[in-house]
Amino acid sequence: MADNQLGDDDIFVYTGGEQRVPRDVKRVRIAENVDTISAGLFQWCQQLIEVEGHKKMKKIERYAFNYCRRLRKVTKMTGLIEIEQEAFSGCYALSDIDFGKVQIIGVAAFIECNSLTSVNMPSVRILRPGAFNVCKNLTGAVFGQDLERIEINTFFGCIALRSIVIPLKDNLIIANHAFNCCGNISRIDVLDGGIRKTISSCTWRAGEMKWKKKSVTSTKLFRISKQLKKLKQSNSGLQAFSVEWNITKVNTTC
């Protein structure tokens, strides 16, 4: 297939197959016949700043946008289901993403995306190890009722992370060290039957974390709130939530 040439509006339309991607491409539109961005396709496209997809897209494979250092926007990918390993790793400028239906975030998929300040992914089921590793300016993360697993080091080194929204259910698994080196977390909200509630907030005093319980109405919410009293200082980082959502260990520094 012949290479697609840049038009007057400086947009490269990717139509799949054996089409080659210019290394100096700046803006990309994914044609509707393409439902998967293949592994490494735009890797190291140093001039790329914007990618526009469509609602029929299903998957972004590993390393697809690896070290596209100037990439700022990835839009109109509302039907996307899976983002594979390191798909956006090293995309330092990435700040605008549109993945409303994504279900699986792969290993280190957004590692070092330092311009991400918040994520809202209501359909995510699984966050693989290191998914948002060292996103240093990420302050908030919102997930929905479908969340099943937050794996090891998912938010490791997210030093600005202050709040997280997660579902209220017994089978949610949050692995050891999922929030390691996240010393600024101060608020946990839960979704209980679609209703958002704050189960605890905290403040730092003389290097210790003090949790203030909020008023609760359901038995389950009360049990989880009680578990927060077991919070204690250690040198191992915010090590784990258990199935009962017991925050066991916290460290303010790395």
pLDDT band at 116 (very low <50, low <70, confident <90, very high): very high
**For residues 176 and 244, which has the higher predicted lDDT (pLDDT)?**
176
List CB contacts of 217: < 8 A, sequence separation 6 or more: none
The separation between CA 209 and the C-alpha centre of its own chain, rounded to angstroms, equals 25
Checking if the pLDDT of 72 tops 80, the result is: yes
0.85 exceeded by pTM = no
CB atoms within 10 A of CB 136: 14
Residue-level pLDDT at 192: 74
Q: What values do phi and psi take at 195, rounded to 5?
A: -100, 130
**Which strand (E) or helix (H) includes residue 220?**
helix 219-227
Q: pLDDT tens for residues 7-50? A: 446 899 999 999 999 999 999 999 999 999 999 999 999 999 99
Residue-level pLDDT at 71: 98
Mean pLDDT of 227-238: 33
Q: pLDDT tens for residues 48-61? A: 999 999 999 999 99
Identity of residue 222:
F
Q: Of 179, 169, 178, whose CA–CA distance to 223 is shortest?
A: 169
Residues 215 and 202: their CA atoms lie apart, in Å, by: 14
**Which strand (E) or helix (H) includes residue 174?**
strand 173-174
Q: Is the dihedral of CA 237, 243, 245, 248 positive or negative?
A: negative
Rg for the chain, CA atoms, rounded: 20
Residue-level pLDDT at 167: 87
Average pLDDT, the chain: 79
